[in-house]
């Protein structure tokens, strides 16, 4: 399991809430939960109230990775989600006795892994308009 703890870099109160959130996770969540600290609204530099150094220090205090993101511009959003996903997978692998994966080289340590492809085209998953590989029509979600 993984949790993104996201605070607003323009709002010191939201940053102060991180300690409370971590305490709650420590009390109520599984001890193996992976945590990642995210400072959001990096695009609003003029209104910034929480420094990068403060965010990094808090992440270090709890042994978390730290990212500054902007949901508006997309800055580091994908990287933050990839980082938490990698930590969750590595944690699961370690609990299962599987050695950690080699990241960023395309190798897959688990032979049962499924590789997901990017969407192509405008129609449903895989860009095939909702049809499956066998040609059967599949209901669209939304």
Q: What is the pLDDT of residues 15-39, one digit of tens each?
A: 999 999 999 999 999 999 999 999 9
Is 121 contained in some domain?
Answer: no
Name the more confident of 141 and 2.
2
Is 122 contained in some domain?
Answer: no
Going by C-alpha positions, the residue among 22, 98, 109 that lies closest to residue 59 is 22
Q: What are phi and psi of 35, to 5 degrees?
A: -120, 145
Is 127 contained in some domain?
Answer: no
Question: Structurally, how many domains does the chain consist of?
Answer: 1
Dist. CA 6–CA 16, nearest whole Å: 11
Is 76 contained in some domain?
Answer: yes
- State which H helix or E strand residue 68 sits in: strand 65-68
Expressed as residue numbers, the domain containing 55 is 2-110
Give the up-direction half-sphere exposure of residue 131: CA atoms within 13 A in the CB hemisphere.
Answer: 7
The pLDDT confidence band at residue 45, using thresholds 50, 70 and 90, is very high
Is 26 contained in some domain?
Answer: yes
| Average pLDDT score over residue span 118-136 | 43
- Cβ atoms of residues 36 and 80 within 8 Å: yes
Is 131 contained in some domain?
Answer: no
Is 103 contained in some domain?
Answer: yes
Over the stretch 81-124, which tens digit does the pLDDT of each residue have? 999 999 999 888 777 777 665 544 433 343 344 444 444 444 44
Over the stretch 46-67, which tens digit does the pLDDT of each residue have? 999 999 999 999 999 999 999 9
Structure confidence at residue 24 (pLDDT)? 97
- Cβ atoms of residues 7 and 39 within 8 Å: yes
CATH code of 35's domain? 3.40.50.300
Q: What are phi and psi of 116, to 5 degrees?
A: -95, 140
Is 29 contained in some domain?
Answer: yes
């Amino acid at each position: 399991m993984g949790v993104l703890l996201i605070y607003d870099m323009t709002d010191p109160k939201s940053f102060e809430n991180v300690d409370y959130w971590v305490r709650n996770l420590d009390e109520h969540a599984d001890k193996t939960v992976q945590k990642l600290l995210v400072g959001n609204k990096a695009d609003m530099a003029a209104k910034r109230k929480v420094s990068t150094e403060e965010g990094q220090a808090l992440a270090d205090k709890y042994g978390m990775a730290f990212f500054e993101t902007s949901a508006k511009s997309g800055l580091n959003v994908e990287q933050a989600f990839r980082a938490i996903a990698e930590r969750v997978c590595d944690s699961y692998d370690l609990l299962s006795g599987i050695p950690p994966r080699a990241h960023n080289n395309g190798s897959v340590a688990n032979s049962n892994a499924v590789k997901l492809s990017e969407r192509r085209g405008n129609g449903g998953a895989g860009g095939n308009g909702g049809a499956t590989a066998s040609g059967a029509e599949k209901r669209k979600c939304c």
